[in-house]
């Protein structure tokens, strides 16, 4: 049992400890950080948040559209090759002026049977629907799903000069990559620094276009005003302009 004086002294010392400048600084720092976080969260307007979410959804839909297009073209080419080989075999067997005999005739008959069975199994397994039909209906099914949000996914049709520029960019980018690899891996004994810098600069200038160049999200005019739709277009263009500058800077830093 401690005397009242000691108990009063201990309570006084504890109150003094709680009110030290260090604890006061901690509380002030905590209040400042919380107020800064609240200010940062309040600085982002609801419109900017909506536009940012739209940008994320648009990029995801763009990647899906590219994957579906690539899948459709791959399997369309595969089926076209099979159909071409089957047509050639049928022509050689039944429509050619030269009579086919022996092993060559057996090989052509086997090819026709093999391709026919492959096409039937390809259709019955559902691969035709998954790789040809569904990618062809991608825009219709996507727009049916996002119609409730008053949004629409549309194709962006590029002009002939833009397509030509994209082709030149792609060709020069691949050519510069091959020359950079040649200078770094094969010509190591020479160390052509000047050539490396030149081809790195070519690669930097031939970066492909990014952004809404193939597909984009369009706001429904009946649900959104012209000001909001124009703001969405400006927000998207400014974002991809900054992103393009950032990617070029990244490539330039990696080069140096």
Any domain includes 63: yes
DSSP 93: I
CA quadruple 136, 138, 140, 142: dihedral, nearest 10? 180
Any domain includes 185: no
Give tens-digit pLDDT for 145-182.
999 999 999 998 888 888 888 888 888 888 888 888 88
Helix axes 193-205, 226-255, angle to 10 degrees: 170
207 neighbors 169 (Cβ within 8 angstroms): yes
What is the distance between the alpha carbons of residues 39 and 37, in angstroms, rounded to a whole number? 5
What is the distance between the alpha carbons of residues 233 and 216, in angstroms, rounded to a whole number? 10
The distance in angstroms from the start CA to the end CA of the chain is 75
Does 10 score more than 80 pLDDT?
A: no
Any domain includes 50: yes
Any domain includes 87: yes
Any domain includes 99: yes
Give tens-digit pLDDT for 97-152.
877 788 889 999 999 999 999 999 999 999 999 999 999 999 999 999 999 999 99
Q: Is the Cα torsion angle 34, 40, 45, 46 positive or negative in sign?
A: negative
Number of structural domains (the chain) is 1
């Amino acid at each position: 049992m401690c005397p009242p004086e000691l108990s009063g002294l201990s309570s006084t010392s504890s109150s003094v400890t709680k009110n030290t400048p260090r604890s006061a600084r901690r509380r002030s720092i905590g209040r400042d950080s919380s107020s800064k976080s609240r200010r940062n969260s309040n600085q982002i307007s609801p419109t900017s948040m909506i536009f940012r979410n739209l940008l994320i959804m648009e990029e995801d839909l763009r990647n899906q559209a590219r994957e579906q297009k690539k899948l459709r073209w791959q399997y369309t080419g595969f089926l076209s090759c099979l159909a071409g080989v089957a047509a050639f075999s049928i022509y050689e067997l039944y429509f050619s002026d030269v009579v086919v005999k022996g092993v060559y005739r057996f090989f052509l008959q086997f090819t026709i049977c093999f391709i026919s069975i492959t096409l039937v199994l390809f259709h019955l397994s559902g691969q035709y629907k998954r790789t040809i039909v569904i990618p062809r209906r991608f825009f219709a099914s996507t727009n049916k799903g996002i119609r409730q949000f008053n949004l629409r996914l549309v194709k962006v049709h590029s002009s002939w000069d833009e397509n030509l520029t994209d082709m030149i960019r792609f060709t020069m980018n691949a050519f510069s990559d091959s020359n950079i690899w040649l200078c770094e891996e094969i010509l190591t004994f020479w160390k052509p620094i000047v050539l490396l810098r030149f081809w790195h600069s070519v690669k930097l200038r031939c970066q492909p276009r990014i952004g809404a160049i193939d597909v984009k999200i369009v706001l429904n005019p009946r649900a959104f005003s012209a000001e909001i739709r124009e703001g969405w277009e400006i927000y998207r263009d400014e974002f991809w302009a900054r992103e393009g500058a950032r990617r070029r800077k990244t490539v330039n830093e990696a080069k140096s």
